[in-house]
Amino acid sequence: MIKESLYKGEIDMWETLRKEETLRTLRTNRKSGLTKEEVVFRQQKYGKNKLKDKPKETLLVKFIKQFNDFMIIILIVASIISAGISYIQGENDYVDSIIIIAIVILNAIMGVVQEAKAEKSIEALKEMTPPKAKVLRDNIVAEVKAEDLVPGDIVILEAGGYVPADCRLIESHNLKVEESSLTGETEPVTKDSEMICKAPLENINGKVQTSRVTIGDRFNMAFMASIVVNGHAKAVVTDTGMNTEVGKIANMIIEDEAPETPIQKKLSQVGKILGIVCLAICVIIFAIGLIKNIDPMEMFMTSVGLAVAAIPEGLPAIVTIMLSIGVTKMAKNNSIIRKLPAVETLGSSKVICSDKTGTLTQNKMTVVEIIANDKNFATELGTMCTDCEITYEKGKNKVSGEPTEIALVENGIKNNINKVQMEQEMPRVNEIPFDSTRKMMTTIHKVGERYRIITKGAPDVLLDRCKISSGEKERIKENNLKMAKKALRVIAVAYKEVDRLPEKIDSSNIEKNLNFVRTNWND
């Protein structure tokens, strides 16, 4: 049952609701949006649409926290006592005490520096949240600060822009969203406002209950920090700020406290044992001296001296130096370790599993091979049959769009084939967008007095649309299989030129009798 109240976790399965139910529950109008008065009320109730910061600690507090270790405390106490004994006995030999304190301070400084380097995770997430958003309010589309969005706002999503908050789609037109920051999936996800997700059933403590649909399968929703790479849509905001999916990640970063590493546990045990043993030695030696009528002050100095001698001052130094070497090597490979002891834990790992492309890689594709009679022509066709946009920023070309298409366009630029210049020579006059049923997309270009039709898609599907012999078809399939076994992602390109276009532009009369070309890449 859906409660009349909204937000704050009372409804958290928006993907299972129809569009009309979502709008009714959020009390908003899809044609006019929220009123200004309602926006002000909801902003007061739900707060800003932005990620919270982890409570800042001063450098002094961070520095002091580095001494929160039993072994370190014992070392400091031992060095102070050692210096005190040296002073009382008139020896004025403070070398050992200075060395111990220097090692402890160096260890603390390194810890603070490492934490400062690693504490950029929230800032990185914030950079992914868009500063502006197009929103429909009082029947007027306006651009507002993304942090001013509230649940129930109707937002406009367009290609090339970030999704400003978690939304339920109410209209979608060939919409594709890249969600690798949340799911790790390289490929953009096709979204559909008409789809209604079915909540899976789960057995929890003997009771069958509905559970949340995984993020990657919520095809009727778009999430904050994801990027619209194709199409456009209208959506209603369902969650903002820390209640969004990326907000939950930020919250885990803020609240998560890492457990002690094996080396920390061992050193803590050693420290406690040494502390107890040293204290026991002091008491026993002091008691023996008193029984033998030795001067109490002399016995005190003797027992404390023995206790200090029993403490392995070099142990923390050796551990710190070895871990620091590990941290330095990791840093050279662009891996920042927040806590020194984490290096030991990482070194103990035998297998690291990752099930998503882009999680451990750059989430970027690159053309590595082109197989065609004329590679320049194949590159030209692949570049033209894309929806990428090229902008010139800071002296460099910046390509935006789907990763697969970006790879084709960047390969074209590398080979002196610029999509913008090519489209001036061969303007696009029509297209048939990609869809998951056909597994193809087609663009139509004017070349002089004729028309060039370019189609790209899955090789096994595109082959059936080409003029090709059965023998050649089998050879292409074999090569396709070989490439796939080498972990290459394969795409096929085909084309044809015609004098006239049919009155009706659709797949049945355009995507046929094509000439086959072939390209492939990996990520």
Q: 370 and 469 share a domain?
A: yes
Tens-place pLDDT, residues 379-417: 999 999 998 888 877 777 788 878 888 899 999 999 999
| Of 310 and 146, more confident | 146
Q: 247 and 270 share a domain?
A: no
Q: Are 153 and 137 in contact (CB under 8 A)?
A: yes
Identify whether 18 is part of a domain. yes
Q: 168 and 247 share a domain?
A: yes
Identify whether 495 is part of a domain. yes
The pTM score is: 0.57
Identify whether 22 is part of a domain. yes
- From the number of C-beta atoms within 10 Å of its C-beta (0-12, 13-18, 19+), residue 348 rates as exposed
Residue 2: pLDDT above 50? no
Phi (first) and psi of residue 303, to 5 degrees: -65, -40
Residue 4 confidence (pLDDT) = 37
Q: Which of 50-54, 131-135, 514-518 has the lowest mean pLDDT?
A: 50-54
Residue 128 confidence (pLDDT) = 54
Q: 222 and 138 share a domain?
A: yes
Domain CATH for 186: 2.70.150.10
Identify whether 361 is part of a domain. no
Q: 108 and 136 share a domain?
A: no
Phi (first) and psi of residue 123, to 5 degrees: -60, -40
Task: Out of 73-82, 101-110, 217-226, give the one with best mean pLDDT.
Answer: 217-226
What the block records as the tokens of 451 is: 């028309």
3-state secondary structure of 253: helix
| Of 96 and 375, more confident | 375
Identify whether 358 is part of a domain. no
Tens-place pLDDT, residues 107-165: 777 767 766 665 655 555 555 555 788 999 999 998 898 899 999 999 999 887 889 99
**Predicted confidence band at 185 (pLDDT cuts at 50, 70, 90)?**
confident
Identify whether 91 is part of a domain. yes
Tens-place pLDDT, residues 283-309: 888 888 888 888 877 777 777 767 666
Residue 358: pLDDT above 80? no
Q: 435 and 456 share a domain?
A: yes
Name 205's Cβ contacts closer than 8 Å, sequence gap at least 6: none
Q: Which of 58-67, 433-442, 477-486 has the lowest mean pLDDT?
A: 58-67
- Give the whole-angstrom CA distance, residue 483 versus residue 521: 9
* H-state helical runs in 120-236: 121-127, 180-183
Phi (first) and psi of residue 313, to 5 degrees: -60, -30
| Of 394 and 193, more confident | 193
- Give the whole-angstrom CA distance, residue 251 versus residue 248: 5
Distances (CA, A) of 180 to 356, 359, 521: 9, 8, 19
Which residue segment(s) compose the domain that 101 sits in?
Answer: 59-118+259-347
Mean pLDDT of 77-86: 74
Complete DSSP assignment for 271-302: HHHHHHHHHHHHHHHHHHHHHTT--HHHHHHH
Q: 400 and 508 share a domain?
A: yes
Q: Beta partners for 137?
A: 34, 140
Mean pLDDT of the chain: 80
Name 249's Cβ contacts closer than 8 Å, sequence gap at least 6: 125, 182
Residue 469: pLDDT above 60? yes
Tens-place pLDDT, residues 25-36: 999 998 899 999
Q: 431 and 411 share a domain?
A: yes
- Give the whole-angstrom CA distance, residue 199 versus residue 211: 6
3-state secondary structure of 127: helix
Tens-place pLDDT, residues 320-351: 677 777 777 776 776 666 666 677 777 767 77
Residue 427: pLDDT above 90? yes
Domain CATH for 386: 3.40.1110.10
Residue 395 confidence (pLDDT) = 72
Identify whether 354 is part of a domain. no
Residue 3: pLDDT above 70? no
Residue 12 confidence (pLDDT) = 67
| Of 11 and 404, more confident | 404
Please count the structural domains in the chain: 3
Q: Please give the share of the chain, as a percent, with pLDDT higher than 70.
A: 80
Q: 151 and 287 share a domain?
A: no
Mean pLDDT of 182-209: 79
- Give the whole-angstrom CA distance, residue 285 versus residue 144: 76
Q: 38 and 177 share a domain?
A: yes
Q: 78 and 171 share a domain?
A: no
Catalytic annotation present for 239: no
Residue 493 confidence (pLDDT) = 93
Q: 31 and 141 share a domain?
A: yes
Q: Are 211 and 425 in contact (CB under 8 A)?
A: no
The count of residues in the chain is 523
Q: How many other C-beta atoms can be found within 10 angstroms of the C-beta atom of residue 179?
A: 22
- Give the whole-angstrom CA distance, residue 459 versus residue 477: 8
Catalytic annotation, pick one of 53, 355, 387, 499? 355
Residue-wise over 37-60: b if at least 16 C-beta within 10 A, else e? ebbeebbeebebbbbeeeeeeeee
